[in-house]
Structure 1
Amino acid sequence: MLQSSREVLASEKINRYGRLSYEVLDGMVDWVRVIDRKGTIIYANKSMEKALGKGIVGEKCYSVIGKGCACERCIAYATVNTGEIVEKEEIIGDRIYSVKSSPVKDLEGNIYAAVEVFRDVTRERKLEQEIIKKNEKMSEDLSFARTIQKKILPQKGIQGPLKIDYLYFPSEMLSGDVFDIYKIDEDHMGIYISDVVGHGITASIMTMFVRQAMKSIKYEYVEPGAAITELHKRFLDLNLDTEKYFTIFYGVLDLKDYSFKYVNGGHNCIPLLINNNIELLEAKGYPITCLFEQIKYEEKQIKLNKGDKILFYTDGVIETRNQAGELFGIERLIEICQNNKDNLLKHIEKGVNNFKYKDLDDDFALLSIELI
């Protein structure tokens, strides 16, 4: 008698827990259905019945979602036969559902059905598509901007008495490095290299300011110190925060006697004068920043002879690291310049590529001019 009472109690618990499970499923917003081995629906919760009709129990699983035959990839069939949880996406009407199929077992542990949970992911998928389209449009815009940024660089080859060559590799789609060579008047040429803090879109926009400002200033100031002082004044007019700044090295070549007068606006990559020896073109000066109301720059002057080269570069070159974390450094750059007077930039590029162990973290620019 005691054994019989225990069996009744156990049976009642099973029934009670079963009712409780169905109540939980009926309270879910997601659709839930149970499908037997033959693909017949043996249970559907209230959310699914309300959406598809109360007569779906007893129907084939595929017919109630608008299909005339079984799915090519039936996840319920896969679950019943393998016991694995399987997922896929299903389009029903104008909605997209993420469907997860899990096994249902009897008291002996045998799989006799699959329970499918349908979650409406239409909004998420539409947002994903919108993001993809916007990213594609942004990539197109960035690619166009990258093309323009490269097109506005000076032409390689002969310009006046100078032979010009350069390498230019942005670390991202757009670069914060910019350089230019231009004629100021019949007797003078201007040459500068600039490195904007950071890289990417923000830095590239700042390079446009540098380029346009220098194009304008060149007609007003032949002396490089006065030109960069004026550049600083125009930068202050932008009213940017202190985190935005750039460095610049600017020189003016006198075409009558080939004297080269230069200033350094905080550019820590000191250009190299290359002939029989290698000389650093050092000069004192602050970066172009809003931290200072007025800045004056120290001017230095050298005389160039035929065959002399000046190598301008940005910190993406000397701050490249190897696997041990060592910097490429100015010493390695000077060593390459000493041993490779011909095809200099190719040898520097090869040296950097052999030294680094991952992609560049910063923009990379090298500009070489040679008096011919």
Structure 2
Amino acid sequence: MLNIILSIVFALSGAILILLSGIIFRENPRSKINRVTSVMLFFAGTAPILATIYYAVLVPSGREYPIWLYNIFYIWELFFPSFVLFSAIFPVEHKYYKRYYRAFYAAYIPHIVHLLLVMFLADPNAILSKLTITSDFPVLGILLEFVGYFLKYIVMLFGLALEVHVRFFSIINLAYAVIASVFLHQGYRSVVNPRIQRQVKVITYGIRTAVGLYISAYIVPTIFGININPQIKYLAIIIGLLVGPGFIAWAIMRHRFLDIRLIVRQSLVYSVSSIVVVGGYLLIMGQFREILKSIFGGGVAVLEIVTMIVAVIFFQPVLNFIDGILRRLFIKGGADFKVILEGFSHKVITLLDLDELITEVLRTFNEELLIENAFLAIPSSKGQYSVYSAQSGNIQTSKQDRVLESFLLVRDLPVPRDDIPVPALSPSTRELFHEHDTELLIPLNSTHKLIGYIGLGKKASGLGYNAEDFTIFQVLANQLVIAISNARLYLESLEKQRMEEELALARQIQLQLLPKQLPSHDRFQFSVYSEPSREVGGDFYDFIVMPSEHLAVCIGDASGKGIPAALLIARMQAILHSVTRSQFEVHSKIAHINNVLSSSGMPENYVTFFYGEIDTGMMTFRYCNAGHNYPILLHGDGGCEFLIEGGLLLGAFGGVEYSSNLVQLRPGDLLTCYTDGVTEAMDDDEIEFGEKRLVELLSNNRCLPLDRLQEKVLDSIKDHCRGRPFQDDCTMMMFRVI
């Protein structure tokens, strides 16, 4: 029983350690810390794997194997020099490593020599038995006999030295463990970033605990000749093998140790879940089989088959259950970029004080995203930028740089330092970048105007920026642009009207989010009308110019009214502008927006939304309707079509799949998009204006200019309501193919 438990625990621990080793190396093989950590975990994983082979294969076989085969187990002790090397470069390179880095790699030499000795001189008696040399020639026989005796004494001397060496080599391992612990402690004290401190603390506690248990169970008894109960020794090993990998996995998934990507951390959680379930399954099934044999004897084949069927049925639900627990335990908080984005969005949208907003932005980059030397530059006065630094907390000024502004104005994505025309920049800008050791610039563009930029230094982890970083930076930048616009609008309104009502302010914020002008194109005409039922409504629309002769048009209706609806619209548009520039298909963009909105956990905040992309070159229109009123497409030949393809409304349910449809546009086609305030406008008898009446009105007056056609529709709605005020927001968006 004990051998079975030990084999399973050893196998699980070894598999997790080697899995972690492979993931860390594959994630960034060019990084020194990744390579060293991977090697350290690999050698740590060989110990439980070899122990599994010993307890599961060698012991049950009952055969006698060569001693050198058992001594292969000593290969895992290469973990100790790897541990020293790891502690010398994490979290920062130790001063002794910078001076004598070759000495740290030379720390492997004693263990390599030790491994060779225990492998090739493992059995002196076997070697002695082969040193008996005889000859038929008397003189030569005497000489060979003398040489044989000499070699035997040499081998016996080596055997005695080997026994002493094996007994006291543990002192070297103990010394390595102490040195590594001291280095880790010194590294922890040199770190100032709170998240990196938590990484170091977690890893230090885990490795120290695991190594401490091994020292207590093996090294100390070996050195001082102390006999320990085998069960206590095995218990210490099991705890150490659980604690060591567990703390490292916790640091990777919860505190983003080594900056492992989120998708890799999620895969790691699933892999660990699978390993745990499989190990538990093998242990339970083995014990259950023994119980059946003890009760029913040997003829339990049918019962074993039934047991296997039951186990297969419950395997996947149990796996999903454990995977869910581990995900909630490990991948949350700062480990999940979705949580960071959610928290950032909630804070910055509601922050209208510019100083508080900037403080929150720099805090997010410094503490949540582990970026060193982050700064935010915002135009403050004519010819000047105010530069807010996360490192110093000070505000400095920098002269306006026309070259940098022109460069950033045409870029939407973060720009690495190598792509920045540094020689062409002004001296003050170059000095600013040098002072903050800038590695990346994030432009903050709003309606073809640069409202600032963010400069980022190196990561606290010392690793480079990856695609996952660029994605989150872009989303944060889009939200920040809206937040800065809102904050500035708030400050301007306070200067003009100190006692201005809250709803009026929110209305202006919402208007800032709407397009300032209609698109201009020689093959299309556009017209929009929007009237909220209150100071701030839930209707919104947008036109977004895209690359490759594409134009995105959209209209939506957010749940609620007033400020809550305005904030939901602001968040919706931030996400929309982020995904519009991506290469995803239309239905994939809508699905992404829905997943982000629904992740807030507030299903009462939903949006009906219609989104389409016009290909002005191919004259096509691909759209997706997410629970919105069906737009009406009147064809030039007199036909009528409702654009219904899509899916459910946005924000209520996560993981919804959407579909899109492609429409060929021809001259004379007229598309009318509207919100429910148009068709649900009621008269005194509470009879709605209705979709049918709207279609007839558009068909009979389709040749009118768009602005006249909209006026005709609005006049008809007002006549229908007989002076009764609109009960909901009323928005119409039209475009005609010329």
Q: TM-score range by the shorter chain?
A: 0.5 to 0.7
* Counterpart residue number, 1:236: 598
Residue ranges of structure 2 left out of the alignment (5+ in a row): 1-496
* TM superposition shift of 1:178: 0.7
* Counterpart residue number, 1:351: 716
Residue identity in the other structure for 1:352? I
Residue identity in the other structure for 2:576? M
Q: 2:586 aligns with which of 207, 224, 228?
A: 224
Change beyond 3 A, Cα 1:184–1:138? farther
CA distance in 2, matches of 1:164, 1:305: 15
Secondary structure of the structure 2 residue equivalent to 1:175: coil
CA distance in 1, matches of 2:499, 2:731: 25
Change beyond 3 A, Cα 1:260–1:143? same
* TM superposition shift of 1:222: 4.6
CA distance in 1, matches of 2:568, 2:595: 15
- The reply on whether 1:280 has 2:671 as its aligned counterpart is no
CA distance in 2, matches of 1:321, 1:261: 33
Deviations for 1:313-361, whole angstroms, at most 9, x for unmatched residues?
Answer: 0001111101111011101111110111212111111011111142111
Say whether the 8 Å CA contact 1:199–1:362 is kept in structure 2.
Answer: no
The normalised TM-score by structure 1 is: 0.59
CA distance in 2, matches of 1:368, 1:205: 26
* TM superposition shift of 1:186: 2.2
* Counterpart residue number, 1:249: 610
* TM superposition shift of 1:240: 3.8
* Counterpart residue number, 1:164: 526
* TM superposition shift of 1:200: 1.6
CA distance in 2, matches of 1:189, 1:261: 11
Change beyond 3 A, Cα 1:278–1:144? same
* Counterpart residue number, 1:189: 551
The normalised TM-score by structure 2 is: 0.31
Once the two structures are superposed, the pairs formed by residues 321-360 of structure 1 within 5 Å of their partners are 321-341=682-702, 342=704, 343-357=708-722, 358-360=724-726
Residue identity in the other structure for 1:261? R
Deviations for 1:273-308, whole angstroms, at most 9, x for unmatched residues?
Answer: 123222111214001124x33111121111011231
* Counterpart residue number, 1:177: 539
Identify the structure with bigger relative contact order (alpha carbons < 8 Å, sequence gap 6+): 1
Change beyond 3 A, Cα 1:347–1:199? same
* TM superposition shift of 1:160: 6.1
Q: 2:681 aligns with which of 301, 320, 337?
A: 320
Q: 2:672 aligns with which of 282, 300, 311?
A: 311
Secondary structure of the structure 1 residue equivalent to 2:569: helix
* Counterpart residue number, 2:630: 270
Change beyond 3 A, Cα 1:182–1:143? same
Deviations for 1:188-213, whole angstroms, at most 9, x for unmatched residues?
Answer: 11111111112221111111112111
Residue identity in the other structure for 2:683? N
* Counterpart residue number, 1:301: 662
Once the two structures are superposed, the pairs formed by residues 1-372 of structure 1 within 5 Å of their partners are 139-154=500-515, 155-156=517-518, 158-159=520-521, 161-237=523-599, 239-267=600-628, 269-275=629-635, 276-290=638-652, 292-341=653-702, 342=704, 343-357=708-722, 358-372=724-738
* Counterpart residue number, 2:60: none
Change beyond 3 A, Cα 1:146–1:159? farther
CA distance in 1, matches of 2:649, 2:634: 25
Change beyond 3 A, Cα 1:266–1:138? farther
CA distance in 1, matches of 2:679, 2:499: 31
Secondary structure of the structure 2 residue equivalent to 1:158: coil
* TM superposition shift of 1:224: 1.2
Say whether the 8 Å CA contact 1:263–1:300 is kept in structure 2.
Answer: yes
Change beyond 3 A, Cα 1:327–1:225? same
Residue identity in the other structure for 2:613? V
Residue ranges of structure 1 left out of the alignment (5+ in a row): 1-135
Say whether the 8 Å CA contact 1:270–1:280 is kept in structure 2.
Answer: yes
CA distance in 2, matches of 1:351, 1:331: 13
**How many residues are paired up?**
234
CA distance in 1, matches of 2:736, 2:511: 22
Residue identity in the other structure for 1:274? L
Secondary structure of the structure 2 residue equivalent to 1:253: strand
Secondary structure of the structure 1 residue equivalent to 2:520: strand
- Higher mean alpha-carbon deviation, 198-207 vs 346-355, is at 198-207
CA distance in 2, matches of 1:221, 1:202: 31
Residue identity in the other structure for 2:634? I
CA distance in 1, matches of 2:721, 2:593: 35
Secondary structure of the structure 2 residue equivalent to 1:182: strand
* TM superposition shift of 1:157: 6.0
Residue identity in the other structure for 2:571? F
Residue identity in the other structure for 1:305? R
CA distance in 2, matches of 1:278, 1:316: 22
Q: Going by fraction, where is helix more abundant, 1 or 2?
A: 2
* Counterpart residue number, 2:74: none
CA distance in 2, matches of 1:174, 1:195: 12
Q: What do you get for the CA RMSD once the two structures are aligned?
A: 1.9
CA distance in 2, matches of 1:322, 1:191: 31
- Higher mean alpha-carbon deviation, 311-320 vs 142-151, is at 142-151
* Counterpart residue number, 1:80: none
* TM superposition shift of 1:264: 1.0
Deviations for 1:163-220, whole angstroms, at most 9, x for unmatched residues?
Answer: 1111110010011011111112123111111111122211111111121111111111
* TM superposition shift of 1:159: 4.2
Say whether the 8 Å CA contact 2:503–2:562 is kept in structure 1.
Answer: no
Residue identity in the other structure for 1:362? D
Say whether the 8 Å CA contact 1:223–1:252 is kept in structure 2.
Answer: no
CA distance in 2, matches of 1:336, 1:330: 10
Change beyond 3 A, Cα 1:138–1:367? farther
Secondary structure of the structure 2 residue equivalent to 1:248: strand
Secondary structure of the structure 2 residue equivalent to 1:362: coil
Change beyond 3 A, Cα 1:293–1:304? same
Say whether the 8 Å CA contact 2:543–2:554 is kept in structure 1.
Answer: yes
Change beyond 3 A, Cα 1:145–1:162? farther
Say whether the 8 Å CA contact 2:503–2:536 is kept in structure 1.
Answer: yes
Change beyond 3 A, Cα 1:324–1:316? same
CA distance in 2, matches of 1:219, 1:344: 33
CA distance in 1, matches of 2:554, 2:519: 17
* Counterpart residue number, 1:68: none
* TM superposition shift of 1:235: 0.8
CA distance in 2, matches of 1:171, 1:315: 12
CA distance in 1, matches of 2:685, 2:525: 37
Q: What fraction of aligned residue pairs are identical, expressed as a percent?
A: 27
Say whether the 8 Å CA contact 2:519–2:543 is kept in structure 1.
Answer: no
* TM superposition shift of 1:137: 6.0
CA distance in 2, matches of 1:185, 1:351: 39
Change beyond 3 A, Cα 1:300–1:254? same
